[in-house]
Structure 1
Amino acid sequence: MGRCKLNPPFSFQVLDRIKASVIPLPGKNFVRHHLRNNPDLYGPFWICATLVITLSIMGNLSTFIQMHNRAGYNYNPQFHKVSVAGVIIYSYAWLVPLALWGFLQWRKGVMQGVGSYSFLETVCVYGYSLTVYIPTTILCVIPFELFRWILIIVAMSISGFVLVLAFWPHIRNDNKMASLGMVIGMIALHVLMAVGFKMYFFQKFEEQKAAVAVATQKPAHITTHKS
């Protein structure tokens, strides 16, 4: 499974890994050039925790900015967004790497030339790849729909590039169907998560207005007439 540091590694190591995940360079494999057989869970854990906080707070703040001056709107903190963000992010950062690691272990046994990282290295790559979403979610509080979509697409591209650069060397020797299927699956889940962030936490004004209207709608009174 490989070694893993639960305690904080040297700060320059964490900073180097964060920088590499935000500015991926062609030919620079994240695992080989930055983890060096020494994965840590400290960075991925706090990156995920920070993303949960920024996503929840900025999602609430985005709703308030768009709706605070609208008639009939009363601000209510949406604490359930913290739970939603936590489930999505930690599931993505742990369950997807687990499935990917299992798939590579299987392909490694049936196809010569296919490699695999340890499970902890796989988790570490996915955890650090989420770093770019932290500043993205903070900037998404700006209520301009096109600007938000551009931010999400840029973050999604950077993060996805980190993943592809890290795992492609292990699957390029597999048959085309398996390697293409793995890349498509990896990218599809990544896009689904990023678009889900945008659609759920940073809705456009019309969607926010409809949600508020449903939340504030009063049930119709039922009247009975005596005979």
Structure 2
Amino acid sequence: MMSGKYTSIDNQQLQGSVPAVPDPPPVTVKFTDSNLKTFPPSETQGKITGGSRPPRDADDSFSKPVSGSDEPQQQGGWLHTFTVAAYKPYFDIDSSDVLERIKDSLFPFRGTFNEKTATNPDLYGPFWICTTLIFVAASIGTFVTYLAHKLKDKEWNYDINLVTWSAGLFYGYVTVAPLCLYVILKYFSAPASLVQLFCLYGYSLFVFIPAMCMSVVPLEIFRWVIAGVAGLMSATFVGLNLRAHIMSAGERWFLIVAAIFLLQLALAVVLKMYLFTVSV
């Protein structure tokens, strides 16, 4: 019997009855080539580190799409014209560019506007120029009629139709006139960019903003002079910038340029007759 005490076995070599098992050979694990993309990708395509540049303004919602970016591919076909993405590149412009193009419109005899905007025509400037013209025409026209009535101690009533009429005139003109010219040039085998025509006609209307502001002077002859000068500047700006391109349309190029010139003058006459001709 065991006495409850553990005995120690010293200097004894015990041989087990089970034979020793040799170590297994090393197992080599081979992995097949993975089809997963590495992360981060070797070619970065983000908006900051990829092919596109950081937005020049705080909001990059109207930045131009860059080839190779990770943006989804745009919808093709004619349905693409009804998407916002189709018009983003034409609003990606700095304020300094808009001011430079406005300066060019005030110097119509240079005739270099189309060359400067050939690669990057915009719709941002034309949209805001037309919008400004609508409110300026309505407010100045209202003030002119108010002043004429007060000078003769007559009762004056506000005409709300000035706003709607101005909106229809300017938005309609800057849309219909380039569209008609686009069709005519395409018929004569001298097609032009429709967006560039919108851009040209939009900036050609800027000269009417200061002209309307100066028309508050209650002198009929002065108003006619202002309307005539503004109309000549606008017509010259459009005619000279389109002349070089329209000359490729054949022998009738002069008639097309003359029609463009006269149409701009007609716009100035309409503005003078409707907005600044006051009968008390």
1:181 aligns with 2:255: yes
**Per-residue deviation, 1:3:** 7.8
1:194 aligns with 2:276: no
- Paired position in structure 2 for 1:32: 115
The structure with higher relative contact order (CA 8 Å, sep 6+) is 1
**Per-residue deviation, 1:117:** 2.4
Question: Any stretches of 5+ residues in structure 1 without a counterpart?
Answer: 109-114, 210-227
1: distance between equivalents of 2:142 and 2:193? Answer: 38
Q: Over aligned residue pairs, what C-alpha RMSD do you find? A: 1.9
**Per-residue deviation, 1:123:** 0.5
CA contact (8 A) 2:118 2:196 kept: no
Q: Structure 1 104/192 Cα, relative in aligned 2: closer, same or farther at 3 Å? A: same
2: distance between equivalents of 1:64 and 1:14? Answer: 34
1:12 aligns with 2:93: no
Q: Please show how residues 45-194 of structure 1 align to structure 2 within 5 Å.
A: 45-71=127-153, 73-108=154-189, 115-176=190-251, 178-194=252-268
1: distance between equivalents of 2:88 and 2:249? Answer: 28
CA contact (8 A) 2:231 2:267 kept: no
Letter in 1 for 2:138: S
**Could you list the per-position Cα deviations for residues 120-167 of structure 1 after superposition, in whole angstroms to 9, with x for gaps in the alignment?**
000000000000000100110111111111111111111111101111
Question: Any stretches of 5+ residues in structure 2 without a counterpart?
Answer: 1-80
1:203 aligns with 2:267: no
CA contact (8 A) 1:4 1:38 kept: no
Spell out structure 1 runs of 4+ moving beyond 6 A: 1-4
Match of 2:125 among 12, 34, 43: 43
Work out the percentage of aligned pairs sharing the same amino acid.
32
Of the structure 1 ranges 89-98 and 74-83, higher mean CA displacement relative to structure 2 is found in 74-83
CA contact (8 A) 2:235 2:262 kept: no
Q: Structure 1 128/99 Cα, relative in aligned 2: closer, same or farther at 3 Å? A: same
Of the structure 1 ranges 4-13 and 99-108, higher mean CA displacement relative to structure 2 is found in 4-13
TM-score (norm 2): 0.66
**Per-residue deviation, 1:6:** 4.4
Q: Structure 1 63/8 Cα, relative in aligned 2: closer, same or farther at 3 Å? A: farther
Q: Structure 1 123/68 Cα, relative in aligned 2: closer, same or farther at 3 Å? A: same
Letter in 2 for 1:200: Y
Kindly tell me the number of residue pairs found equivalent between the two proteins: 196
Give secondary structure in 1 for the equivalent of 2:272.
Answer: helix
1: distance between equivalents of 2:214 and 2:248? Answer: 40
